[in-house]
């Protein structure tokens, strides 16, 4: 089996890129089959936050699809049920971008990138987030002011 993975598994690095910006968090959005799109390809992007913005890259072409200014952007997660990207900030804000809006940019190079929408505000800076596969709101972890006592994962206040 291991020989098959090596021979046909595309298990090698086939390319690298220098983004030219500091990367605070990154995630790969899986490809979705969407018959409503001209090429039937939804998702299939790399999302990167830099501390000041979100950058979304098409994985097939490696082109920058959209750049959205988000002050303090440091954490990312995707809700696979709602097709929604969540962006956490150092100020405790959680913002969202509908992934279908990014899909629409593939067919229209003149379209403006989607704006992030407010979702929730947490107490303290957000260090990381994760979304469950059942469509519930994302969970977050926060760092305490002291590096010696990091925060623990807990739900976003005001959300079930």
Q: What is the CATH number of the domain that holds 75?
A: 2.130.10.10
Residue 26 burial class via C-beta count within 10 angstroms: exposed 0-12, middle 13-18, buried 19 and up:
middle
In a domain, 15, yes or no: no
In a domain, 35, yes or no: yes
> What is residue 151's predicted lDDT score, i.e. its pLDDT?
39
Between CA 7 and CA 14 the distance in angstroms is 14
pTM for the whole thing?
0.77
- What are the helix (H) ranges across 11-154? 99-105
Domain span at 63: 21-130
In a domain, 119, yes or no: yes
> What is residue 3's predicted lDDT score, i.e. its pLDDT?
62
Each residue of 134-148: pLDDT tens digit? Answer: 777 776 665 543 333
Weakly modelled stretches of the chain, pLDDT under 50 = 144-160
**How many domains does the structure of the chain reveal?**
1
In a domain, 45, yes or no: yes
In a domain, 50, yes or no: yes
In a domain, 67, yes or no: yes
In a domain, 4, yes or no: no
SS3 48: strand
In a domain, 48, yes or no: yes
């Amino acid at each position: 089996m291991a020989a098959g993975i090596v021979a046909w598994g595309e298990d090698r690095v086939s390319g690298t890129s220098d983004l030219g910006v500091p990367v605070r968090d990154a995630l790969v959005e899986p490809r979705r089959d969407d018959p409503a799109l001209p090429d039937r390809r939804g998702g299939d992007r790399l999302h990167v936050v830099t501390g000041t913005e979100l950058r979304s890259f098409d994985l097939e072409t490696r082109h920058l699809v959209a750049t959205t200014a988000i002050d303090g952007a440091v954490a990312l997660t995707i809700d696979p049920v709602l097709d929604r990207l969540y962006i956490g900030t150092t100020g405790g804000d959680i913002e969202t971008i509908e992934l279908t809006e990014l899909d629409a940019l593939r067919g229209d190079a003149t379209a403006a990138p989607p704006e992030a929408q407010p979702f929730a505000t947490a107490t303290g800076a957000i260090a990381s987030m994760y979304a469950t596969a059942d469509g519930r709101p994302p969970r977050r972890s926060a760092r305490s002011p002291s590096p010696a006592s990091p925060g623990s994962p807990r739900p976003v206040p005001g959300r079930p």
